[in-house]
Structure 1
């Protein structure tokens, strides 16, 4: 290259050609004690132009761990002997031959498809193959536990073995000690080269002498360290050089936190497109977006999965995966939420009703009830528990189909419970005949079925069935009819239970049935509150800022002080649990106890109209900031062109810092504007959903 910026300047600019990047990487590696060298040679077109479309993505799809079923192997002593095989061995051999032939044909077809895919993924013919100049880094073993020589591509930071086909030849190698010219033939591959730079038949050094670590220095044992150091310097002094013109490498904390040039990086890999953002660049905390495609061209119609990763979210959201083909959306949360949610799976567009298909998993250690998984559907609700004191681990609720209530029942806002099934673990403190294993509440049939645990060594379990008396007899003074219960005792010779025991058991089951029905309604309300909260968190995402984050904590501290001042002025409002977004609009109507259809429609229209206007004002504000920063940057660049030759080093450094800061701000504003434009329809839809489930506007949806 005709110019080579210093590593410090390259770090500040966050850009450079391959020689500059290789010099930066090599300098840092040498500073950390590695035996590193800058390599000047030739590479393929993909490496020189940084074409990553034939490289596997570093973000492969994560496969969920499946629990392996433990197979219990019985003792061979007690196993039955298999029946004698009377089948024809000739027929079996012929059948196996057909199976082997089909498998061979299948493997042949698979190999053919693999070869076709490899041919499609093969890079096109390059007329300049072996002539494209490139620079990379060579890491030799011997220092910092490096076991084998390795190439490192500076543009990606990816290590490659010496036999990699990406690099075609080496012209020269250098580091802070010397410059070596390659005298070997590279046609057989770079792994065949010898990397012993002291061998003059393979490498010609440019400067006189060799590094001190390559030779054995002999000094008198009586000499002091200062004398040895002075003699070493004088022996190695072959020419006088001026002081280094470049500054010491210093990476500012702001540049380090920025991670990528201008805070954003977009890369196309094989069947994958990734967008990476620095923290706090996106207002919703997005740091990585991964789009996976079915074809190599990554056409929009072949998009099948979108994975987004987040950081610093106050709602503990860390990742979302959207399956375009099936419409499935899965949200992953880290520990820290009050509701203890770990994973939330649902269908696209079904994020506001408890009657849609969804699965919610929890960190059961963070919940008082030990709930670990909740499955919902229009027809059922299933709860899974662990480590409960009452030893329940499963509860399944069946509901009647909407629009088809059971005979004699009227359908209301809530679904009609048809049946409840509960399962319990064994309690060793109770006899098996009194320890319930499965309990079923048949609500429609007005029956209760109990099945107890198996006694050790028994093949049957005790059961007890109750039939509820008519509703007219279900008063305060419940009368027990022995004809309405039937049971089976697995223990031979056991006395039948007395009527008082059966009456107390029946009364207990009725109470627990009522408590279970109340729990089911409460669970539905909790899910509805969770969905309402998730809609709010999606419409208004918030990010947490660490107290030690100096770059972002100034604004946070200022906002905190303003918030404290407002709280002092409005102490009477501190008791409110949550913000009531409809309160200002209902107040305009005179705060009626119940809204009429016209009033509810007017309050909803006011709320949506002002929210829409707020989105427009925010977009205009970002656009004005972008235009102002653009004008200032253009003026600064014109000034630099005028006075470039008269600037001092510190003034030029200050200019580069201001330009980098302005460019980063411009890119951030552009990303925010695009992100705001893309998310505005979803936030508006989330607000509509938020208003749809508000009980005060229920009159609009009857």
Structure 2
């Protein structure tokens, strides 16, 4: 074991409490999307930091000071609450009872969630009142132009004629109120726009973004159209929308990226309208982290030297039959679900819904036959027109025109003709030209002899759609989204929100109560240890855990599968490596008493080595770094065509118990047996002669002949040297495994993320981190000189000094555990204090906005942006506290089991693990 293998434990132990707290805080908080204040500083420093944040957003320090004066009106209440928190947490930290600690975390989380819900409700009301206020919105939101009045007049006449002609049809959704109570045409509510972010460039990315960024709310009355629809700008600001508002927002983005998209007004099932996926059962799909890598590799290897794909020998008719059978099975399942919905839903076929349809442009190429398809805004998923969850269509519209469906409505949309220029199937609101449906621009220039000017749809009254960078990075309204299915719960997080880099977590259950877990997938991003996903299968005997990594690790780990305890060398595990190791090791299979190693492309043609160890006592099963004694080693080699088969070694078996070496050679052509030689290692002294009976030969090829005495002696010496080399390789492999387990133990306890140096939105945190690191090193050097402690010494020297101070191993171990638990609690409490600080800042500015103390509109808008930043910060802090509470027991168990396996604490009773 390395001498500094436990430096990560003793690093905090050697530091003073205040300095350790400062180091941990900087390490935890430097990956936030916002600049946080240091909790250890005084109130004045916190205020100055807040002034800097305000001036950074507002651009004027004088205005920032004015805003800070408003905030100070609530400072007395803030100081009182914070002092009460300090007095309570100091006493709680000294309590070592496990139940009381759990109660501390649970009560703190409940209080934080309650405060957060109250703050969100207060902020949402203030934001809505501010958004719909006539003083804060553009003139186009509150007034109608002459062309808009003409369109409204024309639309009312069109609706009345439609009522007379089709009295049994529903009222058309053509003119609705906006957020300011002004009548607007739904076509002018669409604002074609594109966002500036490079990740948003096509239909799929925009569909997923809208589904993630906006919280879906169902209609108050499921069978009627709402009489008021918010503009896309207000939808982005509020981040909540019904189906019509989400569809309009998505179509605005899709038209902006040159897609022929339309808003659909029609009917859907209860599952779609309520976005209730609890009746949907999803399949258990294991995460494959190499899908994207395999695509890139296949593109890179597409050259003349690459292997040609094998011919597909399957008949086209057989493929057709298999596909038809599969479609029948799928249709049966879908029909069962639809029948279930029809019988259980009294409003089936009457629930109003809005979604998006993409009508592909006309292409002259006969080989390309694209059909229209739907996009569900609430999920961002593509749906085919044959999807029976969509039961009918009343009308469609875009930013240029409005079309009413004249086709008979049945169950489903498969029978519809989506050629909007067909007047027998669709009734257009304005006179339409065919080129407007092909994505071309309308030609508004007319000849001089033209006596009639065609009425066209006016430009949109909505401002250009913009998403602030802080909201874009948060991705979800609160940084988190939870989707509940019949048999699973999926959790999504924005990048850098969770302290361990978690971005997605899928949990599958066996029951509808979501109690018994069967499979959990956790996907990570921006991890320094290159971890990208962890899969855990829960069974009655032992849990199976699979870890996947990106390339770039020092140990070249690709995947790591283990059963049961993660830090026991005797735990059954299976490890794969990238093809970058110098020893060409590809796979490693570890059982209780054996190692099996697989190699690729070695020059000596070795492809497998298996080592069996001597069985140890049960008391040593938890000892991580006790190296075991091998009893036998077996090495297997590939065929070397340059050698004769009776000279080409296939298998070498080193039996260390019987002190023999058994060599088997490759099979010859037409042979069913192998030639072999058994070497009995000598136990005599060097002065005695070589015993020819120590070599037993079994040569199948009759012309090869047996070895003479000199040849047998030389070969025996070679086999003895090969055995020594095999023992060295096994010992080195065991050291590598122990080191790998220790490193993974450390990486599971310590959360470290990596920020790209080219990330413009977060590199300011890197600069701050580097400066803090320099300050820490300077502070550490001064303290070490004062205490005359050299932290650069290896671990075994430090631990010897500690044992000279306190020779009782129990006391040393208790100090480690106590320091770990205190640091964990302090980090949680610091986050809670920071939450309260941000909460009071946000509430004070919201109160200031409500009292109308801001006279300038620009200052109001910038203050609103600052409030939005603070609200995002509160969501992030709440999620971090929740994650700290979820992982603290697992991190403690990993540390405790690690200390149980350490030799210096072997004589002590093992630490108790909590589950």
TM-score normalised by the chain length of structure 1: 0.80
SS of the counterpart of 2:279? coil
State how many pairs are aligned: 625
Counterpart position of 1:262 = 478
Within a 5 Å distance, the mapping from 1:28-39 to structure 2 comes to: 28-39=253-264
**Worse-matched range after superposition: 285-294 or 183-192:** 183-192
1:330/1:266 CA distance change after superposition, 3 Å: same
Distance 2:279 2:896 in 1: 44
**Worse-matched range after superposition: 525-534 or 425-434:** 425-434
Counterpart position of 1:271 = 487
1:551 aligns with 2:753: no
Distance 1:445 1:612 in 2: 51
**Of 569, 585, 591, which residue of structure 2 is paired with 1:371?**
585
Q: How far apart are residue 418 of structure 1 and its match?
A: 2.0
1:666/1:560 CA distance change after superposition, 3 Å: same
Distance 1:675 1:496 in 2: 70
Counterpart position of 2:358 = 139
Q: How far apart are residue 240 of structure 1 and its match?
A: 9.8
Within a 5 Å distance, the mapping from 1:286-305 to structure 2 comes to: 286-295=502-511, 297=512, 299-301=514-516, 303-305=517-519
Within a 5 Å distance, the mapping from 1:127-526 to structure 2 comes to: 127-142=346-361, 147-187=370-410, 189-208=412-431, 210=433, 212-213=435-436, 228=445, 236=453, 238=455, 244-295=460-511, 297=512, 299-301=514-516, 303-325=517-539, 326-348=542-564, 350-363=565-578, 365-403=579-617, 413-470=626-683, 473=684, 475=685, 479-526=689-736
2:400–2:456 Cα contact (<8 Å) kept: no
1:203/1:455 CA distance change after superposition, 3 Å: closer
Within a 5 Å distance, the mapping from 1:39-58 to structure 2 comes to: 39-57=264-282
Q: How far apart are residue 174 of structure 1 and its match?
A: 1.6
**Of 664, 676, 684, which residue of structure 1 is paired with 2:884?**
676
SS of the counterpart of 1:249? coil
Report Cα offsets for 1:371-407 as digits up to 9, x if no partner: 1111112222111111112211111122232249xxx
SS of the counterpart of 1:551? coil
1:54/1:35 CA distance change after superposition, 3 Å: same
SS of the counterpart of 1:432? coil
2:375–2:381 Cα contact (<8 Å) kept: yes
Counterpart position of 1:105 = none
1:2/1:577 CA distance change after superposition, 3 Å: farther
Distance 1:140 1:317 in 2: 41
Q: How far apart are residue 605 of structure 1 and its match?
A: 1.2
1:615 aligns with 2:824: yes
Distance 2:764 2:270 in 1: 46
Q: CA RMSD in A?
A: 3.7
Q: How far apart are residue 635 of structure 1 and its match?
A: 2.8
Q: How far apart are residue 185 of structure 1 and its match?
A: 3.0
Q: How far apart are residue 484 of structure 1 and its match?
A: 1.9
1:287/1:360 CA distance change after superposition, 3 Å: same
Q: How far apart are residue 205 of structure 1 and its match?
A: 3.2
Distance 2:859 2:449 in 1: 40
2:263–2:356 Cα contact (<8 Å) kept: yes
Distance 1:508 1:434 in 2: 14
Q: How far apart are residue 355 of structure 1 and its match?
A: 1.5
**Worse-matched range after superposition: 417-426 or 126-135:** 126-135
Report Cα offsets for 1:329-374 as digits up to 9, x if no partner: 11111111111111111113x22221121111111x2111011111
Counterpart position of 1:4 = 229
Within a 5 Å distance, the mapping from 1:680-691 to structure 2 comes to: 680-691=888-899
2:489–2:507 Cα contact (<8 Å) kept: yes
Q: How far apart are residue 428 of structure 1 and its match?
A: 2.6
Within a 5 Å distance, the mapping from 1:537-686 to structure 2 comes to: 537-564=747-774, 566=776, 587=801, 590=804, 596=807, 598=808, 600-643=809-852, 648=857, 650=858, 653-686=861-894
Report Cα offsets for 1:453-499 as digits up to 9, x if no partner: 233454443211112233xx2x5657421122210222214443111
Distance 2:253 2:347 in 1: 32
Distance 1:478 1:557 in 2: 73
TM-score normalised by the chain length of structure 2: 0.62
Distance 1:16 1:62 in 2: 31
SS of the counterpart of 2:646? helix
1:426/1:477 CA distance change after superposition, 3 Å: farther
Distance 2:762 2:450 in 1: 48
Distance 2:415 2:868 in 1: 44
SS of the counterpart of 1:607? helix
SS of the counterpart of 1:344? strand
1:433/1:250 CA distance change after superposition, 3 Å: same
**Worse-matched range after superposition: 177-186 or 40-49:** 177-186
Distance 2:259 2:615 in 1: 70
2:487–2:514 Cα contact (<8 Å) kept: no
1:582–1:607 Cα contact (<8 Å) kept: no
Report Cα offsets for 1:284-329 as digits up to 9, x if no partner: 111110111234x25312x210111111111111111111114111
1:307–1:319 Cα contact (<8 Å) kept: yes
1:388/1:117 CA distance change after superposition, 3 Å: farther
Counterpart position of 2:745 = 535
1:17/1:115 CA distance change after superposition, 3 Å: closer
Distance 1:583 1:540 in 2: 24
1:375/1:193 CA distance change after superposition, 3 Å: closer
- Identify which of structures 1 and 2 has the higher relative contact order when contacts are C-alpha pairs closer than 8 Å and 6+ apart: 2
Distance 2:490 2:235 in 1: 25
1:177–1:211 Cα contact (<8 Å) kept: no
Q: How far apart are residue 139 of structure 1 and its match?
A: 1.6
1:35–1:143 Cα contact (<8 Å) kept: no
1:311–1:318 Cα contact (<8 Å) kept: yes
Counterpart position of 2:197 = none
